Chains A and B, each alone.
Chain A
Amino acid sequence: MYSLDEEWDPGVAVERTALAWERSGLSMIVVAAIALATAAERGQTWAIVIAGLVALAGAHSWGHGRFSYRTRQPIARVRPQPRALWLLAVETLTAAGLALAMMLLPPG
């Protein structure tokens, strides 16, 4: 297919992508934390639950990058992972929906 050596990854592309996953996870955790703080202030249990789920999703993305992203996979074997990216988009849209709901619905 291409002349790359199995493992030859001079640009450390796999590691950079794993770090990008970590950053995405952390960003999601931050959003969840803001929502959690607001919801706790207002006593909105439903929002606390959803924010908790978003935090878990962020932790999952972070952990995916930190611990399991394409580990031991030679770069030559890398294939796209559309499902993981779809899932990330769904998690982000959930966070957005939560933020919208918290802004639109009156506190309490």
Chain B
Amino acid sequence: MDADNQANIKKIAEEDRDALNKIIVVLGAGDIEGAEISAETVTVGDPSFAGPLAGVSLRLPVYHILEPELKDVIPEDIYEENLGIWTMTLDINEIGKRFRAIREKSSNA
């Protein structure tokens, strides 16, 4: 995740503490490994130690837009129009499994 986005996310998390319990991060990476790195950045900190979130543990709940938990509550027509093709490209159950593990690890950290 680039430095500018890290800085903006850090600022949002620090400025709006009242809303912090309502904030979620939603990713749209096209590969699972890349998504996991971004997820780690907004939970336990930038793993490359290059950006503003290096060593900063925001522990924000992070999701991938293709996770089944999100699909269940997004209107079907909107989902199909915007994401349908991606469900044929990526394993959404594997994505769900990996992101649940990331959230669990973050909440236990």
A and B co-occur in one complex: no
